[in-house]
Structure 1
Amino acid sequence: MSDFVLPVTCYALSGEVNIAYQTMGYGPVDIILVPGFMSHIEFMHELPGYTAFLRRLSTFARVVTFDKRGQGLSDRVSDAPSLEQRMDDVRAVMDAVGSLRAVLFGNSEGCAMSALFAATYPERVSKLILFGGYARRSDMSGNYEERALQRAKFWGTGAMIKTVAPSLATDPDAVAQFAKFERLSASPGVVKSFAQLNAQIDIRAILPTIRVPTLVLHRKTDVQVPVELGRELVSLIPDARFVEYPEGDHSFVRGDVSALLGDMEEFITGHRESSSSELERILATVMFTDIVGSTHSAAEIGDQAWRRLLDTHDQLARQMVEKHRGVLVKSTGDGILATFDGPGRAVRCALALGTASKQIGLPLRAGLHTGEIEIRDRDIGGIAVHAAARVMAQSQPSEVLVSRVVTDLVAGAGLKFSERGSHELKGLPGRWDLFAASM
């Protein structure tokens, strides 16, 4: 397995405007993801959870993402586009990828245009999914014109993370990354014009004309768009289904993502993978870490101080795993279990986490192996998981130990490895060549 290659950006011509788009997956159904207020289809892959979300959808569909005209990698325009122009852009992207009919997945602001498109072109929409949406923007609290001016004033500082992804708002690195996302997505002037146009959105009159199967999804704790607006939205669409999640952010990648993806898959395909008798099996790099001498340290400094130190470690672990686009499966008490779709990122994460943890007085050891794993709801299983645990058990303090398959797969990635001999690993057949990783 090599590091996952991000999709290539292409362009569709909508009139005289170039619309940037990407595709991922080869499934029998197409999903067109209609973006919310911000988008930059290349940089969004740097945001925690985004690529993993699309990859999960791509296991059963071809996923198409695009930047609205005036934003991201699409052509800049003098005025904010109308809903009609945005519909033209969606149709242009569908034509460019050869999609005759697709599932529209509207997100936030993109819900209004998606609903209008489904009502206007039902022959091109098989199903409609609306997440975190609303029927009328003026229903949002406060003077929207004033809020638009404030949004433009603070644009590029990461201020929107407080309502889009408040679960990350106290993380300085996440705020800085979100600030860059804002700047790459659009300029303050464009933001102001988009916000002013959005204030006029009111699609209540057309919602009763939607005839395609519709699923409305909303989180009860959505700070950006109150859940009451999602309830109003579904009440106006004939036979629409509503799913309300008890917690999570306005961003669809922050919260109970597994439940959200399961509901989407079941709505689109008629079944969800997690309910199937067949376990999902994927190739992944598994990483186990362990705090060296944790029992002795806990006894030496006391339970309360140890708990605070562990909390700091756990926060570092989450940040490092997300930064390297991994999935934190669980905490093991004095370590973590995580998976990665690329072995190079997994090794770099283990090295970075080891350095950061050592700085707070908690030396780590880590073990990594690449192989097939079984996805079991929120846990994982399989021989590869056991192998990674056994590799870690051979690791010395402040050492990242990997199996030979990992070294073979990251050739040319700029990582260095030192031989640590051939070992018998408990419960696993044969002898295993192990290597210590370094930058």
Structure 2
Amino acid sequence: MRLDNQLVESLRFARADDGVTIGYQMFGQGPVLVWMPSLSNIVAQWRIPALRHAYRSLARKVTLILYDGRGTGSSDRRIDLDDLGVDAHLRDLHAVLAHAGVQRASLLGYYHSVTTAVAFAARHPERVDRLVLFGGSPRLRESMRPAQTQALLSLVDQDWGLFADAAATAWLGWDSAPSGRWTAEAFRTATTAAVAKAWFDAAARIDVTDELARVRAPALVLHRQGEQQIPAEVFRRLADALPDARLVERPGSTPTLFIEDAATDLRLVTEFVTGSPAPGAPVQRGLTPREREVLSLLAAGESNTEIARNLGIAVHTVERHLGSVYRKIGARGRTDAVIHALGLTENPHKR
């Protein structure tokens, strides 16, 4: 009860342009990371041990913002069920950032909110530092297509309680007793069956594919799915379509973050958001994170095809990154670039 009271007292409330009230929390230190919602109840989610650990761990390195989307959790439940497209979700994000006084932030798009993160980054590039994307796709219907997901969604308006229990265990892989119980409770209390059905119906029509090319922020696309969930190819296409994206396929079958090998998931996210280089990685000033990765692999002797395979991107994307690298460091070709990467000279033309 004490934890619940503290969490309720820590809630802040922002008002979107259309009058919908959005509940959110802001805590931690460092660069701002907004963990964007799907169906959420941030107060109930704090009771889930794995999520509580993730929130606290992230907050040691970043200023974390959590919020409930319209119609869910602590946010206004009285909403227009015919207005749940990407523009409505963008109004929620705008409201939270404005109320929190945040001009620039990194965004963690999680399942449903991947499209909102992409759309915001495309339309407001000056306000987004980095993107972390997990579990969703530009066409949300692709991430809703697996047979297991369709079976679960059929329960939404038939038996809301059964849907919550099934989603907590089968859909999101929360199979331990405490996590499963609290996750089911978080689903059950997140919203009503009517709002959830409207959310999923609207999600099936959301498509931000045309906005991908306008995203300028570096993106980290994470994938961990079992055989019955979203295939890796969906995320490979997403990473390839973004101008500066890296795909990391995490081992395991639990289709969520911060459960299997939580320490590595947390390290990947915090290092990416804070811009901390991996140990031993060469620092190349003026290059984007993706360009530094390409240059580092080039210096390790890998071909364009091998670089593409390692980073989960197309060969022509590697070639585009290398062209940009050559221009920025003044290299005339691969040999000059490797010499620069190894730190043998500041500018290959001054040899």
If the length of structure 1 is used for normalisation, what is the TM-score? Answer: 0.57
User: 1:217 is aligned with what amino acid?
Assistant: L
Alignment of 1:132 with 2:132, yes or no, is no
Partner of residue 23, structure 1: 26
User: 2:211 is aligned with what amino acid?
Assistant: I
Whole-angstrom CA distance in 2 between matches of 1:143 and 1:176: 20
Q: Kindly report which structure 2 residues correspond to 1:43-54, keeping only aligned pairs within 5 A, or say none.
A: 43-54=44-55
2:240 maps to which of 235, 239, 251: 235
Q: Deviations over 1:269-298 (max 9, x none)?
A: 2327x959xxxxxxxxxxxxxxxxxxxxxx
Partner of residue 185, structure 1: 190
Provide the secondary structure at the position in 1 that maps to 2:154: helix
Alignment of 1:89 with 2:92, yes or no, is yes
Is the 2:33–2:273 Cα contact (8 Å) retained in structure 1? no
Partner of residue 303, structure 2: none
Q: Deviations over 1:201-229 (max 9, x none)?
A: 22222112211111111114375433322
Alignment of 1:34 with 2:29, yes or no, is no
Q: Kindly report which structure 2 residues correspond to 1:231-310, keeping only aligned pairs within 5 A, or say none.
A: 231-271=236-276
Whole-angstrom CA distance in 1 between matches of 2:226 and 2:98: 37
Partner of residue 215, structure 2: 210
Question: 1:43: how far off?
Answer: 0.6
Whole-angstrom CA distance in 2 between matches of 1:256 and 1:146: 28
User: 2:167 is aligned with what amino acid?
Assistant: M
Provide the secondary structure at the position in 2 that maps to 1:24: strand
Ranked by relative contact order (alpha carbons within 8 Å, sequence separation 6 or more), the top structure is: 2
2:13 maps to which of 11, 14, 37: 11
Task: Return closer, same or farther for 1:251/1:164 CA change in 2, 3 Å cut-off.
Answer: farther
Is the 1:221–1:246 Cα contact (8 Å) retained in structure 2? no
User: 1:9 is aligned with what amino acid?
Assistant: L
Whole-angstrom CA distance in 1 between matches of 2:227 and 2:23: 29
More strand by share: 1
Look at both structures and tell me which one has the larger radius of gyration over its CA atoms: 1
1:166 maps to which of 173, 177, 186: 173
Q: Deviations over 1:394-416 (max 9, x none)?
A: xxxxxxxxxxxxxxxxxxxxxxx
Q: Deviations over 1:303-353 (max 9, x none)?
A: xxxxxxxxxxxxxxxxxxxxxxxxxxxxxxxxxxxxxxxxxxxxxxxxxxx
1:117 maps to which of 110, 117, 120: 120
Task: Return closer, same or farther for 1:116/1:61 CA change in 2, 3 Å cut-off.
Answer: same
Q: Deviations over 1:107-157 (max 9, x none)?
A: 111111111110011111111110122122332235988764333323223
Task: Return closer, same or farther for 1:249/1:146 CA change in 2, 3 Å cut-off.
Answer: closer
Number of residue equivalences: 270
Whole-angstrom CA distance in 1 between matches of 2:140 and 2:275: 33
Q: Kindly report which structure 2 residues correspond to 1:317-328, keeping only aligned pairs within 5 A, or say none.
A: none
Is the 2:71–2:195 Cα contact (8 Å) retained in structure 1? yes
Question: 1:250: how far off?
Answer: 2.1
Is the 1:163–1:224 Cα contact (8 Å) retained in structure 2? no
Aligned residues: percent identity?
29
Task: Return closer, same or farther for 1:178/1:52 CA change in 2, 3 Å cut-off.
Answer: closer
Residue segments in structure 1 that go unaligned for 5+ positions in a row: 277-439
Question: 1:87: how far off?
Answer: 0.7
Question: 1:242: how far off?
Answer: 0.8
Task: Return closer, same or farther for 1:180/1:134 CA change in 2, 3 Å cut-off.
Answer: same
Question: 1:255: how far off?
Answer: 1.1
Q: Deviations over 1:140-198 (max 9, x none)?
A: 23598876433332322311123433251xx5554443332222101111111111111
Alignment of 1:56 with 2:61, yes or no, is no
Whole-angstrom CA distance in 2 between matches of 1:160 and 1:21: 24
Moved more, 39-48 or 239-248: 239-248
Q: Kindly report which structure 2 residues correspond to 1:328-407, keeping only aligned pairs within 5 A, or say none.
A: none
User: 1:165 is aligned with what amino acid?
Assistant: L
Is the 1:10–1:20 Cα contact (8 Å) retained in structure 2? yes
Q: Deviations over 1:8-58 (max 9, x none)?
A: 11100112111000012122x11111112x200101001121111111111
Q: RMSD of the alignment, in Å?
A: 2.7
Task: Return closer, same or farther for 1:151/1:183 CA change in 2, 3 Å cut-off.
Answer: same
Whole-angstrom CA distance in 1 between matches of 2:89 and 2:41: 16
Provide the secondary structure at the position in 1 that maps to 2:166: coil
Task: Return closer, same or farther for 1:59/1:121 CA change in 2, 3 Å cut-off.
Answer: same
More helix by share: 2
Provide the secondary structure at the position in 1 that maps to 2:14: strand
Q: Deviations over 1:336-373 (max 9, x none)?
A: xxxxxxxxxxxxxxxxxxxxxxxxxxxxxxxxxxxxxx
Is the 2:223–2:250 Cα contact (8 Å) retained in structure 1? yes
Whole-angstrom CA distance in 2 between matches of 1:174 and 1:52: 12
Is the 2:149–2:229 Cα contact (8 Å) retained in structure 1? no
Is the 1:223–1:250 Cα contact (8 Å) retained in structure 2? no
